[in-house]
Structure 1
Amino acid sequence: MASASSSAKSPIIESLNARRIFETLSKTEKLYAHHLSRAAWNGARIIMDQVSAESTSIFDLIMELHNVSEGDWTEYGEDQGVEEVHVVKFLEYAAIFLHNIGNYFGQGDQKFIPQLPEPEFRKLASGSAIAKKIYERISDAMYSTMPLCLGYPSETGQAQSRYYISSGDAEPFTKDEISSISQILQDRGIHQENTEFVKKLSRADNGYSFTVFQASIDLPEAPILLSSTMREGKEFTVVLLKANHRKQLEKINDELTAALAYCANDRQKLVLQKLIESFKTGDMEAYKESQRHWVKDIQPAVENIFGFVEPYRDPAGVRAEFEGLVGLVDKDETRTLTALAENSARFIRLLPWTKGFTDNDGKGPFEKELFEAPDFTSLHTLAYCSSIIFPGINLPNFNDIRQETGFKNVMIANSMNPPGRDSGADHSLPQEAIRVDPSLESEYIKHYQATFYLWVVFHELLGHGTGKLLTENSDGSFNFDKENPPINPVDGKPVSSWYKPGETWTGLFGDIATSVDECRCEVVGALLVRFPGVVGFFGYTDETHTTPKDMELNIYLQLGCAGLRALNNYIVEDKKWGQAHSRAHFAIMRILLQAGDDFLVIKENAQEQTLTVYVDQTKTKTHGIPALSDFLLKLHMFRSTANVKECREYYEELTEPSEQFLRWRHIIIANAAPPKLFVQDNTIINSDGEVVLLGYSPTLEDLVDSWVDRNI
């Protein structure tokens, strides 16, 4: 692939296999899982449409070429006069596209283009009238390096966003326009996760009309006028129009309706019924109600996540990409996670914002009064339809539900190696340009997987699961003592800011919200990995193969490598970060470099084009822990007290790469590791009414075949 963050190396493909758990399900559970999986995959076209204007057509082109070739790519290439090397490059492009569900990387939001020469792709497309027609329409967009990334639309064309589309001669959206429309929606009580904005030029007076498209099946007779104002003698109107993504939502609802017959309990039925209602009407309140029921459906055999969930790809941090996930609970692995969750309240007292406080059972005023152990399960995903396959998930994202009802944590076990289970895959070595000091490399590899797994576990449970937002309610009451406000442990002064009625974390902090929170959670996980009493839940002691001391060193090495790898996803031309987690990892690395006394050192070898990470393991307690603890406390207090001004100033300065970091970025990109892709299973119902699992080999051809078999 050619892009700011990719390389010409062939991708590595792994199987996201769920067969072991699938075979333990009952017939009813298999039917439930089948229909949910079909619903999940039918959301793929929604994701593609949210990524770029050409993505759905690229998908159709790949499917048509498979159809005309009947999957025999070698023979088809010969028939079209295309050498095998170019056929392979086409398959690599197709596989990377399908894995990312669009032509922008899920990790990094940077565009990738085919590696085979354009005339060779044209030859492949010429074997079918349908493929040829599609190719002629999208080839320019597919091969153009511009826009090179997702982000706020820019006049230079370097960034684009399908959440903010300018139609015809209209200029690109401005941040002020996006903010103004968002405020109008907030004032009208309209949730924005399932919306997209379109801007048109009004021919009458050169004013602008803005349409807010809301995802739904229902199509009202006419758009709903939300606002009409005059600005400098020009009319600016905002209307709401439903039925966005209508066709795909109908297919999703058909499968969710079929799944209703196989629910294990009434709670699951309520979840699906409210999801169906939400997708039909576009009402996010119905969706939130589904999430309240979902949180209370404890350890189902078949888990699901649906909806417009994560706002990572909206540059404003509000509108969310669609996601569909169906997972099968691994009961053995879940037992340990459940035990950890049930004891999580006492682990909260290890976190820095609780220090020095005796109230709230020793957790202090910046932590929730009641921490009910959430459902924490280990899943083997049967269908994970998303632009990013995360190793762990904490949902829902609605803070009112999290504080009043609760939340769930899940680990995606078949995408990684939980302790005690080895898939044979090597997840440990960083990419070619990034090395670990030779004196530490063998230990790094030996203890990497155990440390990484627990880092993710603590990130989800005690990162996303902790924290209290100081809030003023709509009735004028407060969830803290307004007359005697708590003392901010950062500056020793009473807090002077909080969330006003209607304000939310993502809405107030905007584009930095998700990255700051992911950063906070990553540091929580990194700090907790060192505690023997915490990692002991997973059997790690001073006598085991991996000890708590081994993990304490390993996590700092991982943080150093992750911070360097993050530079892949910094887009120089647009001066923005393409992924929230990457920005967070870079910030943590900066903090550790600033700890001083050569605690964390990055050694650059210009001749070999390598960057080597070294950690002085004698200084983890004197330098590493204090640096991370102070950093975590700042982030937590910014978030808890709605201190967006100081947070933005601090975080933006911290995450602005210097010339040295940009030089390192060049080394990393020039020696990038091959992309890692997952091939996933499918299910079908055979002639006997039994659900059968279709597995696939980790090859380019089978990855494409798996998507053909989904028939979406």
Structure 2
Amino acid sequence: MAALAITSSCGSGKPAAEPADFDYTADRFADIEVLRYQVPGFEELTPQQRIFIYYLTEAAIAGRDILWDQNGKYNLAIRDLIEGVYTNYDGDRKDKNFKALETYLKQIEFASGIHHHYSMDKFTPGFTQEWLVAQAGKLPEGTVTNLDTLLPVIFDPTVMPKRVNQAEGQDLILTSANNLYDGVSQAEVENYFNALKDTTDLTPVSWGLNTRVVKENGKVTEQVYKIGGLYTQALERIVENLEKSLPYAENDAQKDIVSKLIAYFRSGDLKDFDAYSIAWAEDTKSQVDFINGFIEDYGDPLGMTGAYESIVNFKNNEASHRTEIISGNAQWFEDHSPVDPRFRKEEVKGVSAKVITAAILAGDAYPATPIGINLPNANWIRAAHGSKSVTLENITGAYDKAAHGNGYNEEFVIDQETSDLMDKYLFITDNLHTDLHECLGHGSGKLLPGVDQGALKAHGSTLEETRADLFALYYLGDPKLLELGLLDNPDAYKAEYYKYILNGLMTQLTRIEPGKDVEEAHMRNRQLIAKWALEKGQPENVIEFVKRDGKTFIKINDYEKLRSLFGDLLAEVQRIKSEGDYAAGAALVEQYAVKVDPELHKEVLDRYSHLNIAPYKGFVNPIYKPVTDADGNITDVTIEYGEDYLPQVLRYSKDYRTLPANLTVK
């Protein structure tokens, strides 16, 4: 089940003021811009808190190789090869092959592997195979892995073409290039886990969350991610740093969380993961917080295995006033939801929300990162013990700063009045959308008794994100937000509505290659909502395409009716989830979320190309440096900015390498 919000690349608004001389841009290549983010408030923390954060960041980055290996079995070997050629190259650095290799290196570092982080398509090298072989031959002896194996993986477009395939009617495991399964078919995996599940268990574990499913001696089995098992070298280093952090924890609850996470990494037992998740969800007092482990399942075509991910953060007390108001009124929002009362929670428990300052991004949250998190994912834990939602406002602020004055509004927004409204209110309504999505959207509703939380299968992530977005959109237009003091203008919500429909119908198409379908779960979710609202609103002309000077624009004629449509769709998607209606969910996704109008797509790509805006953005991390006394004991931690993108990822590869490349060295 998905519980992350991913930002779109457009934006305007007014985040909190930050130093004007801060350099947000770290690099730009291909379809990507890499940014820097600040960590305001770090210096105001106590030395104990700063040291605690330091060890948590070391633990976070120590899991880097796990994600690379999860994303593809040859990724680490290819990274070794490409980094080796790049760092040892002594020729003309303006040579076209070298420049192409540099771009390819930046792409695979950004995606943690050879497939695009969003489209899931394999990168196409701009350098020749002959040139790469020649350069590999110059590397020090023993540093090059089996080229005969790697060259087809790098250059042949038919070999491992897609990391995650979601095409209806195909074997999603056999046609996906990730390294979560080996030698098994989709039917075999589904049969294996169906045999393990007990439909009468009211506290089921998250089957398959931390394993690779393989066939050994003709029998389907799981290789568990744990110390002494799969990924033990990385997990040992993670645990080493988690143990070092324990003396600096703020309180006993925090120590218990870290200790339970260590126990889980040692055992690999999903019951231990549940114990950790419960302790984490119930800790709402600590200033410093973190996630670390196998969490989100977007990289698994069956939506089970969690990608390694970590975010270390601390609470933004001032901005959290907003989320505390929202979470404090969670029952009101649930009671007034437009869904069938059968699918509402009678009692909303333990919903907490805060705005955080991200201190480090790692694994599946680096370099591309979510802007909001809502965890745990297990429905029974959420119902019995609550959930915790966060909005990463220093990240949304950095996105906004980078987008300022980029020409997006002038090119795509229909008129000056709408553009002015977005300029004034989009930053706050965007953040409120994330707050509502994470805090209440994912935490709303309930499954009917006996419904498997994995019943929606490959479409589960898309439909869950759709549900959370619809909840947020519906309530953004509710007068309750004015009553609570979260907005000061009854028209403010229109800024987010317009951006959302524009993005869902048009501008997110910049992230898709011509002729391709929409495949990433969040993009499918946004298109599903926008296209459904466009179609269902046609009788009353709620939304329309308008042509001006040969360009297509979105015009929203009735915002109140649009809100009503969001409520209608929310009711249906909640029904689908609550009842586990796979057929209805699949039909909704296939009808509205997947296909692209080729003419509109071409127009959007042409118009966007003139703006020189990167469709995708990500971040480099700050550097944390320990301060030690004469005896070498750490006494404090300082923070530094300014490290560039390639130097950072190359440093990570050198200093945090934990896993072998899984190929025989020549």
TM bucket by the smaller chain? 0.7 to 0.9
User: TM-score of the superposition, structure 2-length normalised?
Assistant: 0.82
Larger mean Cα displacement after TM superposition, 146-155 or 300-309: 146-155
Quote the residue 1:164 is aligned against: 181
The answer on whether the counterparts of 2:51 and 2:248 sit within 8 Å (CA) in structure 1 is yes
Q: Does 2:273 correspond to 1:256?
A: no
CA RMSD for the aligned pairs?
3.4
SS of residue paired to 2:506: helix
- 2:315 and 2:354 in contact (8 A); partners too: yes
Larger radius of gyration: 1
The answer to whether residue 570 in structure 2 is matched with residue 632 in structure 1 is yes
Aligned-partner Cα distance in 1 for 2:188–2:513: 24
- 1:706, CA displacement in angstroms? 5.6
| One-letter amino acid matched to 2:490 | P
2:214 to 167, 183, 198: 198
Task: Note the C-alpha offset of 1:603.
Answer: 4.9
1:459 corresponding residue in structure 2: 437
1:681 paired with 2:622, answer yes
In structure 2, relative to structure 1, the CA distance for the partners of 1:536 and 1:651 (3 Å cut) is same
Once the two structures are TM-superposed, the CA of residue 698 in structure 1 deviates from its matched residue by 6.9
Whether the 8 Å CA contact 1:696–1:702 is kept in 2: the answer is: no
Change (3 A) 1:669 1:129: farther
Q: Is the 8 A contact 2:30 2:103 kept in 1?
A: no
Please tell me whether the aligned partners of residues 434 and 612 of structure 1 are also in contact (alpha carbons under 8 angstroms): no
User: For 1:572 and 1:289, how far apart are their aligned partners in 2?
Assistant: 46
Paired residue for 2:542? 599
The change in CA–CA distance for 1:253 and 1:9 in structure 2 (over 3 A counts) is closer
**Superposition map of 1:70-89 within 5 A:** 79-83=90-94, 87-89=98-100
Matching residue's letter, 2:593: T
Q: Which of 305, 310, 330 is matched with 1:319 structurally?
A: 305
Partners in 2 of 1:248 and 1:272 — Cα distance?
17
Match of 1:579? 520
What corresponds to 2:467 in structure 1? 520
1:422-571 to structure 2, matched below 5 A, reads 424-426=401-403, 435-439=412-416, 440-472=418-450, 499=451, 504-505=452-453, 507-534=454-481, 537=484, 539-541=486-488, 547-567=489-509
Question: Take 2:155 and 2:485, find their aligned partners in 1: how far apart are those partners?
Answer: 49
User: Offset of 1:292 from its aligned partner?
Assistant: 0.7
Distance 1:107 1:563, change over 3 A: farther
- 1:317·1:514 contact (CA, 8 Å) conserved in 2? yes
Question: 1:548 is paired with a residue of what secondary structure?
Answer: coil
Inter-partner Cα distance in structure 2 for 1:576 and 1:193: 28
Q: Which amino acid is the alignment partner of residue 83 of structure 1?
A: K
Identity of aligned residues (%): 20
Q: CA deviation at 1:250?
A: 1.1
Residue 479 of structure 1: aligned partner? none
CA contact (8 A) 1:163 1:319 kept: yes
Amino acid aligned to 2:226: S
How far 1:102 sits from its partner (Å)?
Answer: 2.2
Q: How does 1:206-285 map to 2 (within 5 A)?
A: 208-218=218-228, 243-285=229-271
Partners of 2:404 and 2:372 lie apart in 1 by 16
Of 55, 61, 71, 1:35 maps to 55
Which residue of structure 2 lines up, in the alignment, with residue 485 of structure 1?
none
Mark the runs of 5 or more structure 2 residues left unpaired by the alignment: 1-27, 658-666
**Unaligned 5+ residue runs, structure 1?**
1-6, 70-75, 167-172, 203-207, 219-242, 355-363, 473-498, 542-546
- Report how far residue 155 of structure 1 moved: 10
Using the alignment, how far apart are the partners of 1:30 and 1:318 within structure 2? Answer: 35
Which residue identity lines up with residue 198 of structure 1 in the other structure? V
Q: 1:121 Cα shift?
A: 5.0
Task: Give the equivalent residue in structure 2 for 1:148.
Answer: 161
In structure 1, distance between residues paired with 2:428 and 2:91 = 49
SS at match of 2:144: helix
In the TM superposition, residue 344 of structure 1 has moved relative to its aligned partner by 2.4
Residues 135, 549 of structure 1: alpha-carbon distance in 2 compared, 3 angstrom cutoff: farther
Structure 2 CA distance for partners of 1:428 and 1:602, relative to 1, 3 Å = farther
On the 8 A contact 1:681/1:706 being kept in 2, the answer is no
Counterpart residue type for residue 395 of structure 2: S
| TM alignment of 1:701-712, pairs within 5 A | 701-704=646-649, 707=652, 710-712=655-657
Please list the CA deviations of residues 509-535 of structure 1 after superposition, one character each: whole Å capped at 9, or x if unmatched.
111111111001111111111224315
Query: What SS class does the counterpart of residue 196 from structure 1 fall into?
Result: strand
Native 8 Å contact 1:64 1:131 kept in 2: no
1:368 maps to 345
Measure how far apart 1:124 and its partner are.
Answer: 5.8
Contact residue 328 and residue 382 of structure 1 kept, 8 A: yes
Per the TM alignment, residue 52 of structure 1 is displaced from its structure 2 partner at its CA by 1.0
Shift of 1:456: 0.9
Report the residue type matching 1:697 in the other structure.
G
Contact 2:518 2:595 in 1 (8 A): no
Q: Distance in 1 between matches of 2:291 and 2:506?
A: 32
Which structure's relative contact order is higher, taking Cα pairs within 8 Å and 6+ residues apart?
A: 2
* 8 Å Cα contact 1:299/1:377 also seen in 2: no
User: 1:451, CA displacement in angstroms?
Assistant: 2.1
Q: Deviations over 1:331-368 (max 9, x none)?
A: 111222212211222233332026xxxxxxxxx43222
Q: For the structure 1 residues 138 and 414, does the alpha-carbon distance in structure 2 shift closer, same or farther, using more than 3 Å as the test?
A: farther
- Alpha-carbon distance in structure 2 between the residues aligned to 1:540 and 1:155: 44
CA drift at 1:576: 6.5
1:154-196 per-residue CA deviation (whole Å, 9 max, x = no partner) reads 6998642322223xxxxxx432112112223336987311112
Q: Quote the residue 2:289 is aligned against.
A: 303
CA distance in 1, matches of 2:215, 2:509: 33
Contact preservation (8 Å) 1:216, 1:244? yes
Residue 650 of structure 1 and its aligned partner are, at CA, apart by 3.3
Cα 1:325–1:130, aligned 2, differ >3 Å: closer, same or farther? Answer: farther
Letter in 2 for 1:526: L
Closer/same/farther in 2, CA of residues 265 and 27 from structure 1, 3 Å limit: same
Q: Deviations over 1:424-480 (max 9, x none)?
A: 3217969799822245344434433222111111111120121121214xxxxxxxx
Residue 49 (structure 1) aligned with residue 59 (structure 2): no
How far apart in 1 are the matches of 2:259 and 2:442? 27
Q: What amino acid sits opposite 1:55 in the alignment? A: N
